[in-house]
Protein backbone atom coordinates (compact mmCIF):
# COMPACT_ATOMS: atom_id res chain seq x y z
CA UNK A 1 0.00 0.00 0.00
CA UNK A 2 1.23 3.47 -0.94
CA UNK A 3 -1.19 6.17 0.19
CA UNK A 4 0.51 8.69 -2.09
CA UNK A 5 -1.10 6.89 -5.05
CA UNK A 6 -4.49 7.59 -3.49
CA UNK A 7 -4.07 11.34 -3.07
CA UNK A 8 -1.99 12.07 -6.19
CA UNK A 9 -3.07 10.93 -9.64
CA UNK A 10 -1.82 12.38 -12.92
CA UNK A 11 -4.35 14.82 -14.38
CA UNK A 12 -6.55 14.77 -11.29
CA UNK A 13 -6.79 17.17 -8.35
CA UNK A 14 -7.46 16.04 -4.78
CA UNK A 15 -7.78 17.99 -1.55
CA UNK A 16 -6.40 17.92 1.96
CA UNK A 17 -6.72 20.07 5.07
CA UNK A 18 -3.91 21.26 7.30
CA UNK A 19 -4.30 21.48 11.08
CA UNK A 20 -5.53 23.48 12.89
CA UNK A 21 -8.95 23.00 11.32
CA UNK A 22 -10.16 26.40 12.45
CA UNK A 23 -10.06 30.11 11.80
CA UNK A 24 -8.13 32.08 14.39
CA UNK A 25 -6.44 35.43 14.90
CA UNK A 26 -2.93 35.69 16.25
CA UNK A 27 -0.64 32.69 16.22
CA UNK A 28 -2.14 30.33 18.84
CA UNK A 29 -5.20 28.27 17.85
CA UNK A 30 -7.79 26.86 20.25
CA UNK A 31 -7.53 23.27 18.91
CA UNK A 32 -11.19 22.73 19.79
CA UNK A 33 -13.23 20.02 18.03
CA UNK A 34 -10.31 18.90 15.86
CA UNK A 35 -11.09 15.21 16.15
CA UNK A 36 -14.70 15.73 15.12
CA UNK A 37 -13.69 17.88 12.17
CA UNK A 38 -11.06 15.34 11.07
CA UNK A 39 -13.70 12.61 11.03
CA UNK A 40 -16.03 14.90 9.09
CA UNK A 41 -13.35 15.66 6.49
CA UNK A 42 -12.71 11.94 6.01
CA UNK A 43 -16.42 11.22 5.55
CA UNK A 44 -16.81 14.03 3.02
CA UNK A 45 -13.99 12.76 0.81
CA UNK A 46 -10.96 14.89 1.64
CA UNK A 47 -7.91 12.77 0.87
CA UNK A 48 -5.38 13.89 3.50
CA UNK A 49 -4.89 15.62 6.83
CA UNK A 50 -1.63 17.54 7.16
CA UNK A 51 0.44 18.09 10.31
CA UNK A 52 3.06 20.82 10.60
CA UNK A 53 6.41 20.61 12.33
CA UNK A 54 7.08 23.88 14.19
CA UNK A 55 9.54 23.12 17.01
CA UNK A 56 9.50 26.62 18.54
CA UNK A 57 6.86 29.32 18.52
CA UNK A 58 8.14 32.52 16.92
CA UNK A 59 5.42 35.22 17.11
CA UNK A 60 7.00 37.01 14.17
CA UNK A 61 5.79 34.20 11.91
CA UNK A 62 2.20 34.52 13.14
CA UNK A 63 1.39 30.81 13.13
CA UNK A 64 2.22 28.03 15.60
CA UNK A 65 0.48 25.32 13.56
CA UNK A 66 -1.29 22.63 15.58
CA UNK A 67 1.24 23.21 18.41
CA UNK A 68 1.44 19.54 19.39
CA UNK A 69 4.39 17.41 18.33
CA UNK A 70 3.59 16.19 14.79
CA UNK A 71 4.32 12.51 15.50
CA UNK A 72 2.17 12.44 18.63
CA UNK A 73 -0.67 14.40 17.06
CA UNK A 74 -0.54 12.32 13.89
CA UNK A 75 -0.90 9.20 16.03
CA UNK A 76 -3.78 10.77 17.94
CA UNK A 77 -5.67 11.61 14.74
CA UNK A 78 -4.78 8.21 13.27
CA UNK A 79 -6.73 6.66 16.13
CA UNK A 80 -9.74 8.90 15.43
CA UNK A 81 -9.95 8.12 11.70
CA UNK A 82 -9.71 5.05 9.50
CA UNK A 83 -8.71 5.67 5.88
CA UNK A 84 -7.67 9.29 5.28
CA UNK A 85 -3.96 9.90 4.59
CA UNK A 86 -1.85 11.33 7.42
CA UNK A 87 0.75 13.71 6.02
CA UNK A 88 3.52 15.81 7.53
CA UNK A 89 3.86 19.24 6.05
CA UNK A 90 6.74 19.30 6.70
CA UNK A 91 9.23 17.63 9.04
CA UNK A 92 12.28 19.89 9.48
CA UNK A 93 15.08 17.40 8.86
CA UNK A 94 18.11 19.52 9.89
CA UNK A 95 16.70 20.09 13.39
CA UNK A 96 15.98 16.41 14.11
CA UNK A 97 18.38 13.51 14.33
CA UNK A 98 17.81 11.15 11.39
CA UNK A 99 17.66 8.06 13.63
CA UNK A 100 14.78 9.54 15.63
CA UNK A 101 13.07 10.79 12.46
CA UNK A 102 13.36 7.45 10.69
CA UNK A 103 12.13 5.54 13.73
CA UNK A 104 9.10 7.84 14.01
CA UNK A 105 8.34 7.52 10.31
CA UNK A 106 8.60 3.74 10.33
CA UNK A 107 6.54 3.46 13.50
CA UNK A 108 3.73 5.69 12.22
CA UNK A 109 3.68 3.95 8.87
CA UNK A 110 3.49 0.48 10.37
CA UNK A 111 0.90 1.37 13.03
CA UNK A 112 -1.30 3.20 10.51
CA UNK A 113 -1.03 0.35 7.98
CA UNK A 114 0.51 2.58 5.35
CA UNK A 115 -1.59 5.74 5.70
CA UNK A 116 1.35 8.13 6.23
CA UNK A 117 3.00 10.49 3.73
CA UNK A 118 6.02 12.53 4.74
CA UNK A 119 6.67 16.06 3.60
CA UNK A 120 10.23 17.03 4.54
CA UNK A 121 11.94 20.43 4.53
CA UNK A 122 15.01 22.38 5.60
CA UNK A 123 12.94 24.90 7.60
CA UNK A 124 12.04 28.54 7.02
CA UNK A 125 12.36 29.96 10.56
CA UNK A 126 15.92 31.22 11.17
CA UNK A 127 15.16 31.81 14.85
CA UNK A 128 14.95 28.05 15.46
CA UNK A 129 18.43 27.14 14.26
CA UNK A 130 20.55 28.59 17.12
CA UNK A 131 18.46 26.72 19.71
CA UNK A 132 19.50 23.45 18.07
CA UNK A 133 23.10 24.60 17.66
CA UNK A 134 22.78 24.39 13.89
CA UNK A 135 24.05 26.88 11.32
CA UNK A 136 21.28 28.02 9.02
CA UNK A 137 23.69 28.71 6.18
CA UNK A 138 24.37 24.95 6.19
CA UNK A 139 20.71 23.96 6.02
CA UNK A 140 20.98 22.59 2.48
CA UNK A 141 23.92 20.35 3.42
CA UNK A 142 22.21 19.34 6.67
CA UNK A 143 19.02 18.46 4.84
CA UNK A 144 20.77 16.30 2.23
CA UNK A 145 22.99 14.57 4.81
CA UNK A 146 19.96 13.86 7.00
CA UNK A 147 17.95 12.55 4.04
CA UNK A 148 20.75 10.19 2.98
CA UNK A 149 21.16 8.95 6.54
CA UNK A 150 17.42 8.15 6.72
CA UNK A 151 17.64 6.27 3.43
CA UNK A 152 20.49 4.17 4.80
CA UNK A 153 18.46 3.32 7.91
CA UNK A 154 15.77 1.69 5.80
CA UNK A 155 18.27 -1.09 5.02
CA UNK A 156 19.24 -3.92 7.37
CA UNK A 157 22.31 -3.26 9.54
CA UNK A 158 23.42 -0.26 7.48
CA UNK A 159 26.87 1.20 7.10
CA UNK A 160 26.78 4.98 6.72
CA UNK A 161 29.13 7.86 7.54
CA UNK A 162 27.30 11.13 8.10
CA UNK A 163 29.05 14.49 8.01
CA UNK A 164 26.82 16.06 10.65
CA UNK A 165 24.88 13.35 12.50
CA UNK A 166 27.19 10.43 13.31
CA UNK A 167 27.58 7.05 11.67
CA UNK A 168 26.36 3.46 11.44
CA UNK A 169 28.99 0.72 11.26
CA UNK A 170 26.82 -2.27 10.43
CA UNK A 171 26.75 -3.69 13.96
CA UNK A 172 23.35 -2.19 14.91
CA UNK A 173 20.02 -1.89 13.17
CA UNK A 174 16.98 0.37 13.30
CA UNK A 175 13.64 -1.32 13.92
CA UNK A 176 10.80 -1.59 13.14
CA UNK A 177 11.16 -2.02 9.42
CA UNK A 178 7.89 -1.13 7.76
CA UNK A 179 6.21 -3.34 5.21
CA UNK A 180 4.89 -0.15 3.61
CA UNK A 181 6.70 2.41 1.48
CA UNK A 182 7.72 5.73 3.06
CA UNK A 183 6.63 8.39 0.52
CA UNK A 184 8.88 11.45 0.89
CA UNK A 185 7.93 14.84 -0.57
CA UNK A 186 10.44 17.70 -0.61
CA UNK A 187 9.02 21.12 0.34
CA UNK A 188 10.23 24.14 -1.60
CA UNK A 189 13.83 23.60 -2.63
CA UNK A 190 15.22 22.81 0.84
CA UNK A 191 18.61 23.94 -0.39
CA UNK A 192 18.68 21.40 -3.25
CA UNK A 193 18.62 21.60 -7.02
CA UNK A 194 15.34 20.70 -8.67
CA UNK A 195 17.06 17.81 -10.42
CA UNK A 196 18.09 16.41 -7.01
CA UNK A 197 14.49 16.71 -5.80
CA UNK A 198 13.15 15.05 -8.95
CA UNK A 199 15.56 12.14 -8.63
CA UNK A 200 15.38 11.56 -4.87
CA UNK A 201 11.86 12.49 -3.77
CA UNK A 202 8.44 11.02 -4.47
CA UNK A 203 7.01 14.44 -5.30
CA UNK A 204 7.37 18.19 -4.88
CA UNK A 205 5.48 20.36 -2.37
CA UNK A 206 5.41 24.04 -3.25
CA UNK A 207 3.64 27.28 -2.38
CA UNK A 208 0.70 29.11 -3.99
CA UNK A 209 1.87 31.34 -6.81
CA UNK A 210 0.20 33.29 -9.63
CA UNK A 211 -0.49 31.31 -12.77
CA UNK A 212 2.57 32.61 -14.65
CA UNK A 213 4.91 31.46 -11.88
CA UNK A 214 2.98 28.21 -11.51
CA UNK A 215 3.37 27.47 -15.21
CA UNK A 216 7.13 28.07 -15.01
CA UNK A 217 7.36 25.88 -11.91
CA UNK A 218 5.47 23.07 -13.62
CA UNK A 219 7.67 23.36 -16.71
CA UNK A 220 10.79 23.25 -14.54
CA UNK A 221 9.45 20.23 -12.64
CA UNK A 222 8.68 18.27 -15.81
CA UNK A 223 12.07 19.20 -17.25
CA UNK A 224 13.83 18.01 -14.08
CA UNK A 225 11.91 14.71 -14.15
CA UNK A 226 12.88 14.24 -17.81
CA UNK A 227 16.54 15.09 -17.23
CA UNK A 228 16.80 12.64 -14.32
CA UNK A 229 14.89 9.95 -16.26
CA UNK A 230 12.05 9.78 -13.77
CA UNK A 231 8.46 8.84 -14.44
CA UNK A 232 5.62 11.19 -13.47
CA UNK A 233 5.75 12.45 -9.90
CA UNK A 234 3.17 14.73 -8.26
CA UNK A 235 3.33 18.48 -7.75
CA UNK A 236 1.35 19.65 -4.70
CA UNK A 237 0.74 23.05 -3.14
CA UNK A 238 -0.81 24.78 -0.16
CA UNK A 239 -3.57 27.39 -0.33
CA UNK A 240 -5.10 29.64 2.33
CA UNK A 241 -8.80 30.03 1.60
CA UNK A 242 -11.64 32.11 3.03
CA UNK A 243 -14.79 30.63 1.48
CA UNK A 244 -17.54 33.19 2.05
CA UNK A 245 -21.25 32.32 2.24
CA UNK A 246 -22.26 34.18 -0.94
CA UNK A 247 -21.39 31.74 -3.74
CA UNK A 248 -21.03 34.58 -6.28
CA UNK A 249 -18.50 36.65 -4.32
CA UNK A 250 -15.58 37.58 -6.62
CA UNK A 251 -12.01 36.83 -5.51
CA UNK A 252 -9.79 39.05 -3.44
CA UNK A 253 -6.30 38.22 -2.18
CA UNK A 254 -5.37 37.11 1.33
CA UNK A 255 -1.98 35.94 2.59
CA UNK A 256 -0.93 33.05 0.33
CA UNK A 257 -4.47 32.52 -0.85
CA UNK A 258 -7.87 33.92 -1.79
CA UNK A 259 -11.18 35.06 -0.31
CA UNK A 260 -14.08 34.19 -2.58
CA UNK A 261 -17.36 32.33 -3.06
CA UNK A 262 -17.63 28.73 -4.17
CA UNK A 263 -18.40 29.60 -7.82
CA UNK A 264 -15.03 31.24 -8.41
CA UNK A 265 -13.18 28.79 -6.16
CA UNK A 266 -14.31 25.88 -8.31
CA UNK A 267 -13.04 27.69 -11.41
CA UNK A 268 -9.75 28.55 -9.72
CA UNK A 269 -9.17 24.98 -8.58
CA UNK A 270 -10.04 23.67 -12.06
CA UNK A 271 -7.30 25.94 -13.37
CA UNK A 272 -4.82 24.44 -10.90
CA UNK A 273 -5.86 20.99 -12.08
CA UNK A 274 -5.33 21.99 -15.71
CA UNK A 275 -1.80 23.16 -14.88
CA UNK A 276 -1.06 19.72 -13.45
CA UNK A 277 -1.35 20.32 -9.69
CA UNK A 278 -2.22 16.98 -8.07
CA UNK A 279 -3.17 17.95 -4.53
CA UNK A 280 -4.10 21.20 -2.77
CA UNK A 281 -3.62 21.56 0.99
CA UNK A 282 -6.29 23.97 2.24
CA UNK A 283 -5.54 26.19 5.23
CA UNK A 284 -8.52 27.78 7.02
CA UNK A 285 -6.63 30.15 9.33
CA UNK A 286 -7.90 33.39 7.74
CA UNK A 287 -11.48 32.25 7.24
CA UNK A 288 -14.36 34.53 8.20
CA UNK A 289 -16.67 31.57 8.89
CA UNK A 290 -16.47 28.59 11.20
CA UNK A 291 -14.38 25.65 10.02
CA UNK A 292 -17.24 23.15 10.12
CA UNK A 293 -19.32 25.31 7.76
CA UNK A 294 -16.47 25.65 5.29
CA UNK A 295 -15.49 21.97 5.42
CA UNK A 296 -19.11 20.96 4.85
CA UNK A 297 -19.54 23.36 1.92
CA UNK A 298 -16.31 22.28 0.25
CA UNK A 299 -17.29 18.66 0.75
CA UNK A 300 -20.80 19.05 -0.65
CA UNK A 301 -20.36 21.76 -3.32
CA UNK A 302 -16.74 21.59 -4.49
CA UNK A 303 -15.29 18.09 -4.10
CA UNK A 304 -17.94 16.52 -6.38
CA UNK A 305 -16.55 18.58 -9.27
CA UNK A 306 -13.19 16.83 -8.91
CA UNK A 307 -13.70 13.32 -7.49
116-137, pLDDT tens digit by residue?
999 999 998 899 999 999 999 9
Question: In angstroms, rounded to a whole number, what is the distance separating the alpha carbons of residues 34 and 172?
Answer: 40
Are 15 and 50 a contacting pair, CB within 8 Å? no
Domain range summary for the chain, segments of one domain joined by + = 4-305
Question: In angstroms, rounded to a whole number, what is the distance separating the alpha carbons of residues 291 and 268?
Answer: 20
Kindly give the residue spans of alpha helices, DSSP state H, lying in the chain.
4-7, 34-44, 70-78, 98-111, 139-153, 194-200, 211-227, 262-275, 291-297
Question: Using 50, 70 and 90 to split pLDDT, how confident is the model at 193?
Answer: very high
The closest of 44, 114, 132 to 78, measured between CA atoms, is 114
CA distances from 94 to 34, 168, 199 (A): 29, 18, 20
pLDDT tens digit sequence for 235-269 = 999 999 999 999 999 999 999 999 999 999 999 99
For domain 4-305, the question of CATH label 3.40.50.720 is answered with: no
pLDDT tens digit sequence for 133-155 = 999 999 999 999 999 999 999 99
pLDDT tens digit sequence for 77-111 = 999 999 999 999 999 999 999 999 999 999 999 99
Which region, left, alpha or beta, applies to residue 140 given φ > 0 means left and ψ of -120 to 50 means alpha?
Answer: alpha
Q: Is the pTM of this model over 0.85?
A: yes
Question: In angstroms, rounded to a whole number, what is the distance separating the alpha carbons of residues 307 and 301?
Answer: 12
pLDDT at 1 over 80: no
pLDDT at 280 over 80: yes
Predicted pLDDT of residue 307: 74
Alpha carbon dihedral 181, 116, 41, 122, in 10-degree steps, equals -120
Question: In angstroms, rounded to a whole number, what is the distance separating the alpha carbons of residues 153 and 167?
Answer: 11
Are 279 and 234 a contacting pair, CB within 8 Å? yes
| For the chain, percent of residues with pLDDT exceeding 70 | 100
Amino acid sequence: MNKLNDIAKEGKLSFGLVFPLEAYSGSIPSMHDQEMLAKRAEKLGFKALWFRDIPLHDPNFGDAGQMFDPWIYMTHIMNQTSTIALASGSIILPLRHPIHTAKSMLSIQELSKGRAIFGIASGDRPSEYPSFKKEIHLKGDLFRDNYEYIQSLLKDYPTFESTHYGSMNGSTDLVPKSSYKLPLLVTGHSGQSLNWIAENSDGWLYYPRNFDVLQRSMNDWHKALEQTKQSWKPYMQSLYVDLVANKNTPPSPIHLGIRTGSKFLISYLKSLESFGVSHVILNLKYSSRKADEIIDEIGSDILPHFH
